């Protein structure tokens, strides 16, 4: 490395109204460098890259590109300078096709000035083939799963021949296989001397793909180090300024209680085949499965979002007939959706309204009027418990950092105070410290007799909190892990193993 | 707690950026301009006339705001008004019904048309724009069929009280009713779960569904409510005219949408405030009253009206784009 910086930030500051989000940040990156940007939820990572991209204007400081002072007045300017960004909240156009999205702004035209669709299709197809990604390139992006959308966003940056690529939590919805593809793409970009900024809350990824790491805390740049010279432990304490354990926090070896929820022979059109299981009252039950295993869909069936083709769900021995989520809630089941932006938040409503929306009926008097004070007290309790960073309760949720939005969604579910809580990918985008807090809260809930069903593809997460983990593979139950079987290495081994049933 | 302090600061700092603020400035400017140009404008009489003429529109804008907050639109209010007017005036004349019965007939018919809108939109999945345009034609056609195209005149005096009566000889009863409706709507908007759910549906329908809101039945209620408000507006309008006409309200859909959007309610859904739609409606009222006083022809007024709608939606769109 070494040589000329591609980008340098000098004393960059940013505040939104009274809220100082970035304070005197000095940062530089050279071509071909892969830099990790770490920090707690709300530390200012996304804000920093939005300044680099020209989305936000800094309130102080200077930006240098190739050593020349540059003002990035809007995103267009950033793109012109060769800066491509994959935002935390993907900004593809859902109604356009994959190809149209990738070539947006750099459309290939034939000699008549018309779009040369064949050429564009060919190029895109070649790219995805080269990456070993199967992709329907004429599908509308909005109809693709989030992971594929992520792949499209990366392809777009590559086609635009960026000199620097910034990725804001690209991995939060990817499976291991897709992660490999992502690494491959990053290495390719590195070879082409593209500078990369990589934001993630998963530290193992930093060791896998990054050369250097920069840590932000509360808007202050704490340190920049070589990845090879910093331990995981150091990274965490620099990030959150306190020590936390990353071991299993559920200390129960065995757990027994009456069954509260049982599912019998759940089938769903190719995705789920005769899945049966029982969950006990007060248990933390994990459903583990990669994308395509049917785990996410199973979570949705339990909450009445999609109907199963056949099978029976019973809560406390009573069969449930759910037509929609409202019915599930009436049977005391609540749910945290897996796609925060599409299914979770109401961007224009306040954080408070977002958090109480499912439980709002509990805060009305018999004339139907809202008890504003009660709402506010309940909400503030969760703000404190989760450490949700907000400027005020009236702040629109879209102005919160991604991780803080997710915390508000979990608060929403806990506020609805149901006996059974289903969480689909519960800690997507949440920092290491807050993860620990959320797990502790879930554990508390379980101790109070609430039943937790956590759907996830992260083994680590489930191993830390679950009493029992059910692994799904290709829509079938592979194995249920209890007691000493709950070990990361064992489960990881099984996840990759061939075969339909554990032998 | 320090968040309280932040609250105060935030509110103070950004009040002029508030979506409603520009509308209020425009409103005040209009009043100043017209009163400078014409002595006849800012008189008690004329102000009361403006209030009376626009009571129906203000009431209509209340229902429309809720509809637009959900991300929908109701373009059937004109036809709905005609149907309510004809049914109510014919029955009232035939059986010499009291005021309350006339009003009830309007509310029920209006609500029924609203229910049909809601049914087409939620159960059949027809986009609100198309469903309500269709319903507009159906309702107005029915109105003409029922009255055979004739004007329903010779109405009993009681029929004209709500639209032509004054309290203390100066304040139009219609304006008082409109004020009451506005107050009720503001209370619903600020203090009920119903309203929070309405904003939620407009902001992200899928998330609303997953949050346990019965989105379809909620939307049906919204359109029924719109229909009922429309019924009330229809009665007041007919009572002011003193006759039942199947041609009434031909501009009503247009005016109600304009008033709502002028008040800063985003046509994209998810945000808006009913009290601001009142200002929107009064802006329209003031412009027409002012132009009429200045002897501007109705054709030019038509042009002005179109420009206002385009301008206000344009501003809304630009503002939305900036916020991304
Ligand atoms: N447009 C905005 N208006 C007001 N405040 C904002 C805005 N954008 C961000 N903030 C605030 O700035 C702070 C930093 O947010 P940012 O999104 O940069 O955090 P982050 O480090 O990316 O966190 P995460 O890991 O959760 O994504 C947050 O407290 C957030 O509320
Ligand atoms: Mg972020």
Q: Is the CB of A401 under 6 A from ligand 1?
A: yes
pLDDT band at B1 (very low <50, low <70, confident <90, very high): very low
pLDDT per residue as tens digits for the range A467-481:
999 999 989 999 999
Q: What is the mean pLDDT of residues A276-287?
A: 95
> Taking CB atoms and an 8 Å limit, are B210 and A392 in contact across chains?
no
Q: Is the CB of A45 under 6 A from ligand 1?
A: yes
Name which of B6, B191, B211 is nearest A369 (Cβ-Cβ).
B191
**CA A19 to ligand 1 centroid distance, Å:** 10
pLDDT per residue as tens digits for the range B6-54:
443 344 444 445 556 777 888 888 899 999 998 989 999 999 999 999 9
Q: CA of A365: which chain B residue's CA is closest? A: B192
pLDDT given for residue A131 in this prediction: 78
Please report, for chain A, the start and end positions of each structural domain, with discontinuous segments joined by +. 7-240, 247-332+419-503, 340-417
Q: Distance between CA B171 and CA B188 in Å, rounded?
A: 26
pLDDT band at B61 (very low <50, low <70, confident <90, very high): very high
Mean residue pLDDT of chain B comes to 89
Q: Is the CB of A43 under 6 A from ligand 1?
A: yes
Q: Is the CB of A406 under 6 A from ligand 1?
A: no
Q: Please determine, for residue A418, whether its predicted confidence score (pLDDT) is greater than 80.
A: yes
Taking contacts as CB-CB distances below 8 angstroms, the residues of chain B near A334 are 212
Contact A179, A185 (CB under 8 A): no
Q: Is the CB of A217 under 6 A from ligand 1?
A: no
Tell me how many residue pairs between chain A and chain B have CB atoms under 8 A apart. 100
CA distance A50 to chain B (A): 12
| CATH topology assigned to domain A7-240 | Rossmann fold (3.40.50)
pLDDT given for residue A314 in this prediction: 94
CA distance B7 to chain A (A): 6
Contact A438, A244 (CB under 8 A): no
Cα separation of the two ends of chain A: 50
Angle at B80 between CA B75 and CA B83, to 5 degrees: 155
> Taking CB atoms and an 8 Å limit, are A17 and B10 in contact across chains?
yes
Query: Which protein residue's CA is at the shortest distance from atom 28 of ligand 1?
Result: A42
Q: Is the CB of A293 under 6 A from ligand 1?
A: no
Name which of A17, A347, A364 is nearest B193 (Cβ-Cβ).
A364
Could you say which DSSP state residue B120 is in?
Answer: I
pLDDT band at B238 (very low <50, low <70, confident <90, very high): very high
| Alpha helix positions (H), chain B | 2-14, 19-37, 44-69, 77-95, 99-118, 128-147, 161-164, 173-191, 193-203, 205-210, 215-241, 252-262, 274-293, 298-323
- Sheet of A420-424: strands edge to edge? A333-336, A420-424, A451-456, A284-288, A468-473, A476-482
> Taking CB atoms and an 8 Å limit, are A369 and B197 in contact across chains?
no
Q: Which of A499, A191, A168 is nearest to A341 (CA)?
A: A168
**CA B251 to ligand 2 centroid distance, Å:** 48
Q: Please determine, for residue A224, whether its predicted confidence score (pLDDT) is greater than 60.
A: yes
Query: Which protein residue's CA is at the shortest distance from atom 11 of ligand 1?
Result: A400
- Does A346 lie at the interface with B, CB-CB under 8 angstroms? yes
Mean residue pLDDT of chain A comes to 89
**CA A247 to ligand 2 centroid distance, Å:** 25
Taking contacts as CB-CB distances below 8 angstroms, the residues of chain A near B2 are none
Q: Distance between CA B105 and CA B100 in Å, rounded?
A: 9
- Does A429 lie at the interface with B, CB-CB under 8 angstroms? no
Q: Is the CB of A82 under 6 A from ligand 1?
A: no
Query: Which protein residue's CA is at the shortest distance from atom 25 of ligand 1?
Result: A41
Q: Is the CB of A200 under 6 A from ligand 1?
A: no
Q: Is the CB of A402 under 6 A from ligand 1?
A: yes
> Taking CB atoms and an 8 Å limit, are A325 and B7 in contact across chains?
no
Share of chain B above pLDDT 70, in %: 91
Report domain B21-32+40-318's class: mainly alpha
Q: What is the mean pLDDT of residues A398-406?
A: 90
Share of chain A above pLDDT 90, in %: 52
Q: To which residue do tokens 């037509």 refer?
A: A323
Please report, for chain B, the start and end positions of each structural domain, with discontinuous segments joined by +. 21-32+40-318
Angle at B182 between CA B178 and CA B186, to 5 degrees: 170
> Taking CB atoms and an 8 Å limit, are A325 and B210 in contact across chains?
yes
3 state SS of A482: strand
Least confident of A178-192, A368-382, B201-215: A178-192
Q: Distance between CA A51 and CA A166 in Å, rounded?
A: 12
Contact B38, B294 (CB under 8 A): yes
CA distance A89 to chain B (A): 12
> Taking CB atoms and an 8 Å limit, are B9 and A345 in contact across chains?
no
Q: CA of A354: which chain B residue's CA is closest? A: B200
- Does A237 lie at the interface with B, CB-CB under 8 angstroms? no
Taking contacts as CB-CB distances below 8 angstroms, the residues of chain B near A343 are 204, 206-207, 210
Structure tokens at A215: 């840590």
> Taking CB atoms and an 8 Å limit, are A363 and B193 in contact across chains?
yes
Q: What is the mean pLDDT of residues A359-387?
A: 90
CATH number of A247-332+419-503: 3.40.50.300
Q: Is the CB of A19 under 6 A from ligand 1?
A: yes
Q: Is the CB of A44 under 6 A from ligand 1?
A: yes
Q: Distance between CA B239 and CA B260 in Å, rounded?
A: 24
* Nearest atom of ligand 1 to the alpha carbon of A403: 26
Q: Please determine, for residue B180, whether its predicted confidence score (pLDDT) is greater than 60.
A: yes
Name which of B10, B207, B214 is nearest A392 (Cβ-Cβ).
B10
Taking contacts as CB-CB distances below 8 angstroms, the residues of chain A near B196 are 349, 353, 357, 360, 370
pLDDT per residue as tens digits for the range A58-98:
999 999 999 999 999 888 888 888 898 888 777 778 888 99
pLDDT per residue as tens digits for the range A247-267:
888 888 888 899 999 999 999
ipTM of the complex in this document: 0.83
Structure tokens at A159: 């086609």
CA distance A291 to chain B (A): 21
**CA A47 to ligand 1 centroid distance, Å:** 6
Query: Which protein residue's CA is at the shortest distance from atom 19 of ligand 1?
Result: A42
* Nearest atom of ligand 1 to the alpha carbon of A431: 25
Q: Distance between CA B115 and CA B227 in Å, rounded?
A: 8
pLDDT per residue as tens digits for the range A134-188:
888 888 888 887 778 888 888 888 888 889 999 998 887 777 778 888 888 889 8
**CA A407 to ligand 2 centroid distance, Å:** 13
Q: To which residue do tokens 């345009």 refer?
A: B133
Query: Which protein residue's CA is at the shortest distance from atom 9 of ligand 1?
Result: A399
Q: Please determine, for residue B224, whether its predicted confidence score (pLDDT) is greater than 70.
A: yes
Cα separation of the two ends of chain B: 31
Q: Distance between CA A87 and CA A481 in Å, rounded?
A: 37
pLDDT band at B221 (very low <50, low <70, confident <90, very high): very high
């Amino acid at each position: 490395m070494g040589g000329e910086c591609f980008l340098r930030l000098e004393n960059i500051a940013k505040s939104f109204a009274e809220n100082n989000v970035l304070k005197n940040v000095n940062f530089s990156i050279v071509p071909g460098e892969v830099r990790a940007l770490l920090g707690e939820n709300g530390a200012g990572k996304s804000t920093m890259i939005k300044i680099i991209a020209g989305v936000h204007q800094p309130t102080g400081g200077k930006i240098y590109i190739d050593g020349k002072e540059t003002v990035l007045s809007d995103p267009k300017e950033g793109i012109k300078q060769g800066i491509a960004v994959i935002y935390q909240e993907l900004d593809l156009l859902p109604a356009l096709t994959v190809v149209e999205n990738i070539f947006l702004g750099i459309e290939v035209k034939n000699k008549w000035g018309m779009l040369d669709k064949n050429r564009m299709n060919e190029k895109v197809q070649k790219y995805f083939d080269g990456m070993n990604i199967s992709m329907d390139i004429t599908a509308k992006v909005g109809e693709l799963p989030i992971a594929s959308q992520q792949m499209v966003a990366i392809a777009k940056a590559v086609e635009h021949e960026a000199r620097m690529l910034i990725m804001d939590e690209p991995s939060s919805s990817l499976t291991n296989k897709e992660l490999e593809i992502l690494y491959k793409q990053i290495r390719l970009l590195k070879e082409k001397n593209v500078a990369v900024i990589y934001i993630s809350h998963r530290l193992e990824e930093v060791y896998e793909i990054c050369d250097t790491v920069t840590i932000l805390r509360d808007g202050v740049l704490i340190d920049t180090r070589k990845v090879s010279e910093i331990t995981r432990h150091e990274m965490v304490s620099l990030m959150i300024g306190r020590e936390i354990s990353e071991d299993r926090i559920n200390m129960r070896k065995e757990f027994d209680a009456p069954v509260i929820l049982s599912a019998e022979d759940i089938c769903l059109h190719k995705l789920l085949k005769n899945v049966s299981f029982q969950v006990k009252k007060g248990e933390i039950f994990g459903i583990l499965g990669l994308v395509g295993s049917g785990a996410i869909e199973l979570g949705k069936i339990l909450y009445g979002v999609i109907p199963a083709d056949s099978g029976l769900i019973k809560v406390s021995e009573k069969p449930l007939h759910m037509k929609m989520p409202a019915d599930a809630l009436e049977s005391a089941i609540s749910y945290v959706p897996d796609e925060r932006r599409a299914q979770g938040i109401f961007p224009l409503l306040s954080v408070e309204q977002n958090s109480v929306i499912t439980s709002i009926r509990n805060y009305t008097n018999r004339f139907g009027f809202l008890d504003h004070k009660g709402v506010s007290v309940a909400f503030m309790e969760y703000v404190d418990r989760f450490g949700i960073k907000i400027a005020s309760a009236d702040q629109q949720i879209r102005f919160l950092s991604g991780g803080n939005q997710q915390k508000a969604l979990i608060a929403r579910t806990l506020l609805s105070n149901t006996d059974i809580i289903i969480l689909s990918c519960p800690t997507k985008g949440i920092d290491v410290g807050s993860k620990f807090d959320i797990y502790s809260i879930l554990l508390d809930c379980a101790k109070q007799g609430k039943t937790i069903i956590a759907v996830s593809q992260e083994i680590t997460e489930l191993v830390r909190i679950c009493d029992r983990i059910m692994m799904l593979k290709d829509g079938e139950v592979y194995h249920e892990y209890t007691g000493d079987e709950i070990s990361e290495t064992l489960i990881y081994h099984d996840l990759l193993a061939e075969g339909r049933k554990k032998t | 707690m320090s968040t309280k302090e932040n609250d105060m600061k935030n509110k103070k700092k950004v009040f002029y950026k508030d979506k409603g603020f520009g509308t209020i400035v425009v409103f005040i400017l209009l009043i100043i301009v017209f009163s400078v140009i014409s002595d006849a404008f800012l008189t008690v009489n004329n102000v009361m006339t403006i209030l009376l003429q626009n009571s129906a529109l203000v009431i209509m804008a209340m229902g429309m705001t809720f509809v637009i907050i959900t991300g929908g639109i109701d373009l059937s209010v004109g036809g709905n008004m005609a149907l309510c007017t004809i049914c109510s005036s014919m029955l009232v004349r035939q059986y010499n019904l009291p005021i309350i019965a006339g009003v009830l007939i309007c509310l029920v018919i209006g609500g029924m048309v609203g229910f049909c809108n809601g049914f087409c939109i939620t159960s059949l999945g027809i986009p609100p724009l198309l469903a309500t345009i269709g319903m507009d034609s159906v309702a107005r056609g029915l109105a003409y069929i029922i009255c055979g195209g004739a004007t329903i005149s010779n109405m009993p005096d009681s029929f004209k009280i709500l639209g032509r009566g004054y309290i203390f000889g100066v304040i139009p009863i219609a304006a008082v009713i409109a004020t009451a409706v506005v107050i009720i709507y503001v209370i619903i908007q600020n203090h009920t779960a119903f309203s929070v759910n309405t904003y939620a549906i407009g902001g992200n329908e899928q998330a609303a569904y997953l949050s346990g809101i019965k989105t379809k039945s909620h939307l049906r209620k919204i359109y029924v409510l719109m229909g009922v408000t429309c019924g009330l507006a229809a009665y007041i309008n007919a009572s002011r005219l003193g006759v039942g006409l199947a041609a009434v309200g031909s501009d009503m859909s247009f005016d109600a949408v304009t008033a709502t959007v002028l008040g800063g309610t985003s046509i994209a859904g998810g945000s808006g405030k009913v009290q601001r739609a009142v200002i929107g409606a009064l802006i329209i009222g003031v412009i027409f009253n002012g132009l009429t006083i200045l002897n501007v022809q109705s054709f030019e007024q038509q042009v002005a009206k179109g420009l206002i709608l385009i301008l206000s939606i344009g501003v809304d769109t630009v503002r939305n784009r900036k916020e991304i």
